[in-house]
Structure 1
Amino acid sequence: MKRNKSKRKRNLKNMKFFNTPKITLETVLNILSVIAGSFIFAVGINVFMIAGNLGEGGVTGLSIIFLYAFDIPLAISTLVLNGILLVIGFRFLSKRAMYYTIFAVILMSMFLGLTGSWSIENDEIMLNVLFGGLLIGLGNGLVIRIGATTAGSAIIGRIANKYLDMKIANAILAVDLFVILLSLTVLSVQQVLLTVVAMYTAVKVMDFVIEGLNPKKAITIVSTKPEALGTLINSEIGRGVTMVKGKGFYSRQETDILYVVISRSRLVRLKRLIQKYDENAFVVVNDVNSVLGNSFVKE
């Protein structure tokens, strides 16, 4: 009896061990990206936008209006308003995206509170406009490119991207411009116009970070072990593989060519996998600007 009990205990421990989710390098990098993006965003808002008496778009823009009009702390108002949008976002975004978004919203509100007293004194308002837009766009882009959002209009942007095939950056710009019009209640026309310039800068930077630094890659693989490589790519990389019939021009020998589209974050893993199982494989990597298909929506 004692022997059976000890065996059962060992089995339970083994089951718990194997069921424990693995924290991959990609997950760690995604978390670091969210932390960095949230901090950079907060610095752009406090150090440049608010320090220059400027506004913003989306939920942060509404929170800035509340700050100027009613002296409500930015960290509190953004957390409350983003919380409301997060409830809506659960209906439209994947669970993975929402987990990262909740993390980003909490960090963003925390960093907005921590950097609330930060400022850089200067007599040139355009420095506030340009650097504010640069940091806001960079911060948003670092968060959005891993599949999360900073909530606010970013959630609306991802919904528009998913269902209307509209660029995330353009959807966010449309929502933000509406909020900017409301800013006329607390800002002058000149301040609003300067805010629009900062927002335009932010959108362009964000667009570059999202699409320029993390494009999809189309991989063409000519290998003597196409069946084995195709199975490994499907199981270890988690991507579907298309097999195309090919024929050597000089040898006239027929061969199977593998074709797979993956995100840039998985490219290094794929290259290592190919080198490990077929050092002589011929691999071509091409940039892909746009991919349609349900399997890529959640990436």
Structure 2
Amino acid sequence: MAKHQHVKLSNLELAKRILFITIGATLMAVGLEIFLVPNNLIDGGIVGISIIVAHLTGLPLGAFLFLLNLPFLILGYKQIGKTFAMSTLYGVTVMSIGTFLLHPVAPLTEELFLAAIFGGVILGIGVGMVIRFGGSLDGTEIIAILVNKKSPFSVGEIVMFFNFFILASAGFIFGWNEAMYSLIAYYIAFKMIDVTIEGFDESKSVWIISEDAKEVGDAIMSRLGRGVTYLHGEGGFTGGTKKVIFCVITRLEEAKMKSIVHELDPSAFLAVGNIHDVKGGRFKKRDIH
């Protein structure tokens, strides 16, 4: 019985992954064919190269989206794993077919600024959704991982250089006006990917070192409704024992948290960091009466 339940849950997770990767890849196709491509705007990565090559050859964009991503999926198979590779292959296939089907559809706007904004938003949501559910729509990251092993540059630096080169190339092919609007679309998409992956209710970790740790911790629990954990540390310079407060809050609670700490101990050490995911424990907020 337990085994049957496990399989059922696995099938549910698989169906959920397929559904959201399909939606994300479809949104990517909409952003490309309804907003960016008809207005000669491009995205970064393999998608950007595909748009440029399709424009120069007059062949369908979907063919290049699939064919140019395929070699890097094969090359990076061992680095990224079977599940990620298959999810990415499925996402790229859906995106490619989507661009074929949407290509005859007229663009919603011919205003470059509007196309850059709405195209960037839709692209970012689509890509973020696919990444959130275990896939990808662009082989750029795989290229960066492979090059990173033989170069002193980080994956992020390689991706940035790669995209700068592609967006600069758009200036010579489509015109500098279109290239600058493409940069706007790329930036908006980049931000929307983060929002889609992390959500608007982004979590933050808080570390507090205070001489009045118990009082500060009690105030956080009673006034914010968040649980705290007390850790015991040792000062590097003094060698003295320190009590460290650790807790997880949302982005919207950060200002109130700082206010509480400053009110009770203005000299307290406070460090706040971003968290991409929170699971388990008692993160759910307790009601404040």
Q: When the two structures are superposed, what TM-score results if normalisation uses the length of structure 1?
A: 0.61
Residue 174 of structure 2 is matched in structure 1 by: 187
Gaps of 5+ in 1: 1-16, 219-243, 246-260, 272-282, 287-299
Q: Could you tell me how far apart the structure 2 residues matched to 1:154 and 1:213 are? A: 25
For residues 60-104 of structure 1, what are the alpha-carbon distances to aligned partners after superposition, in whole Å with 9 as ceiling and x for unaligned? 111111121110210111111010111122131122211211111
Alignment partner of 1:107: what SS? helix
Letter in 2 for 1:149: S
Contact 1:35 1:107 in 2 (8 A): yes
2:164 match: 177
Map 1:105-116; keep pairs closer than 5 Å: 105-116=92-103
Q: Residues of 2 paired with 1:204 and 1:18: CA distance?
A: 38
1:103 to 85, 90, 96: 90
Distance 2:283 2:95 in 1: 40
**Structure 1 residue aligned with 2:134:** 147
Q: CA separation in 2, counterparts of 1:105 and 1:123?
A: 27
**Structure-to-structure mapping, 1:211-290, within 5 angstroms:** 211-212=198-199, 263=277, 267=279, 283-285=282-284
Deviation at 1:120, TM superposition (A): 2.8
Counterpart pick for 1:67 among 47, 54, 65: 54
Q: CA RMSD in A?
A: 3.9
Does structure 2 conserve the Cα–Cα contact (< 8 Å) formed by 1:85 and 1:151? no
The total of aligned residue pairs comes to: 220
Contact 1:93–1:159 under 8 Å retained in 2: no
Aligned residue number for residue 198 of structure 1: 185
**In structure 1, what residue type is equivalent to 2:166?**
V
Distance in 1 (CA, whole Å) between partners of 2:201 and 2:83 is 18
Matched, 1:124 2:124: no
Post-superposition CA distance 1:144-203 (Å, at most 9, x none)? 1222111322434677999999787x8645432221122234210111111011101110
Letter in 2 for 1:127: L
SS in 1 for 2:184: helix
Could you tell me the percent identity over the aligned residues? 26
Deviations 1:94-151 (A, max 9, x none): 2221121111111111111111122334352211010111111111100112221113
- 1:197-226 Cα deviation digits (max 9, x unpaired): 1101110111221233697899xxxxxxxx
Unaligned stretches of 5+ in structure 2? Answer: 206-229, 232-274
Q: Structure 1 residues 93 and 39 mapped into 2: Cα distance closer, same or farther (>3 Å)?
A: same
TM-score normalised by structure 2 residue count? 0.63
Conservation of the 8 A alpha-carbon contact between 1:217 and 1:285: no
Which among 93, 112, 120 is matched to residue 133 of structure 1?
120
Give the deviation of 1:43 after TM superposition: 0.4
Greater Cα shift, 171-180 or 124-133: 171-180
Partner AA of 2:125 in structure 1:
L
25, 31, 37: which one aligns with 1:50:
37
CA distance in 1, matches of 2:55, 2:89: 26
Amino acid aligned to 2:123: I
Kindly tell me: are residues 165 and 26 of structure 1, through their superposed partners in 2, closer, same or farther at Cα, counting changes over 3 Å?
Answer: farther
